[in-house]
Amino acid sequence: MSKIKAINDSSDMVAIFHTSDTEIKKNLFLDLIKGWMTIEDIEKKYGGEGKKALFYLEKIKLVESQWTVKENGQRTTSYKALYDTVQINLTMPIIELPEIIRIATMSDEEIYKYEESILKIMGDKKSIFLGDVQAALNVSLTFLKGIVKRSSKFEIRGHDLERVEL
């Protein structure tokens, strides 16, 4: 049965664009579309980068997980793609489109600079109001949400920006 991921927010486009920004991430996602893989299988086939790619795909909610029991009786987590189709339904101000494209095409180094700036703004806090970060960085909310979608360090919950524990 085909499951469809509906995209209704412009910042979600950034996340979708980056499901295949590296060969490892693309191949892992294709494998997960085909069926379940354990974390051990992913690490064996793709190494540490595969684990990072899995974490990103999990963060943007494109994979599901379940507990499985190996032949030796040990429990492990298996992963599979949650969707195999995307439906894009967007209406946005025309000035947001260049921001989305800019973020989607930014280098990882540029994203890391924004991540470091956000970490400085947050200090020791685990979460912070999105508007405070937006004001401190002097960027639009669309831009900030796009940066967060590209990042593996943060996620948005309600109106707050939270650190993600790796």
Tell me the per-residue pLDDT of 37-49, one tens digit each, with 9 for 90 and over.
Answer: 999 999 999 999 9
**Which own/partner pairs from 151-160 qualify as long-range (CB within 8 Å, at least 24 positions apart)?**
151/111, 151/114, 151/115, 152/52, 152/55, 152/56, 152/59, 153/115, 153/118, 153/119, 154/115, 154/118, 155/59, 156/130, 157/127, 159/129, 159/130, 159/131, 160/127, 160/128, 160/129, 160/130
Residues 110-122 have a mean pLDDT of: 96
Lowest mean pLDDT, pick from 14-23, 75-84, 116-125, 134-143:
14-23
What is the residue extent of each domain of the chain? 4-88, 96-163
pTM, two decimals, is 0.79
- The CATH number fitting domain 96-163, selected from 2.60.120, 1.20.1250, 1.10.760, 1.10.10: 1.10.10
4-88 matches 96-163 in fold: yes
